[in-house]
Amino acid sequence: MTIAFAVIGGTGLTEIEGLEVIHREVVHTPYGEPSGPITHGMIAGKRVVFLARHGYASNIPPHRVNYRANLWALKSLGVEKVVAVAAVGGITPLMEPTRLVIPDQIVDYTYGRAHTFFEDGLEHVTHIDFSWPYCVEVRDALLNAAQCAGVNVVAHGTYAATQGPRLETAAEIRRLERDGCDLVGMTAMPEASLARELGLCYATCAVVANWAAGKCDEEISMAEIHDNLTVGMAQARALLRGLVC
């Protein structure tokens, strides 16, 4: 049976509600080990695979995720479409906590990460077109799924990918806003560009966990992030179920 889509779960999403688990598979890759076994399952009669980006114990920080191994493992299983769920901070007014956003652009501020498959033993230098980093087909599917599930989403936004694992300073957030960014997170890159290199149709459902630094009067607390993610990830799960409605 063809895999309908793969889900990469971010912070707060280590399983999919309603997924009838068939089996879990350990996949070894030329780029090392993925974040964990791949979970195979069924939702509404459709085959889905799931991988927790930060590990099923949520113990892999964003700068240490083996993005190449994760994407290569999914590709090797025959996956063609990937939905990435990510917890983010909100910068611009629409990006309030618990909001779901389907971003359409990325600005990459990460460094030192293994960010390409095209580096050794090449017959020629390889470039990819990354003008529009997210797959239109999967973005449209997410937007339709949100409507099907009755979940309100913001349909556009620019995701600033920072290094982490620390949160940003208020001055850094002001810079990101001047650069045109609406959201800030730590996992969009190189995940999105590696997916493009492998020919995977990839898009993100971002869950706003908190206002970014300097965007509210209070300090950012982990308790606040946890509470907001509890609400936001419940909506994300409903959206994912909507993908097969």
CA dist 116 and 213 (Å) reads 30
Neighbour count for residue 186 (Cβ, 10 Å): 26
Q: Which two tokens stand for residue 112?
A: 């030192």
* Token pair of 229 as six digits: 């993610």
User: Is residue 187 a known part of a binding site?
Assistant: yes
Q: Is 186 annotated as a binding residue?
A: yes
Which residue, chain included where needed, has tokens 């099923």? 56
Neighbours of 70 (CB within 10 A): 29
- Residues 132 and 30: beta-carbon distance below 8 Å: no
The dihedral region occupied by 18, where left means phi > 0, alpha psi between -120 and 50, and beta the remainder, is left
DSSP state at residue 92: S
The answer on whether 63 is annotated among ligand-binding residues is no
Asked if residue 161 belongs to a known ligand binding site, the reply is no
Shortest CA distance to 88 belongs to which of 26, 141, 159?
159
* Angle separating helix axes 222-242 and 136-149, nearest 10 degrees: 90
Q: Does 64 show up as a binding residue in the annotation?
A: no
Residue 53 in marked binding region: yes
Sign of torsion over alpha carbons 132, 134, 140, 146: negative
Is 212 annotated to bind a ligand? Reply is yes
Binding site residue list for substrate? 186, 210-212
Binding site residue list for phosphate? 11, 53-54, 187
Binding site residue list? 11, 53-54, 186-187, 210-212
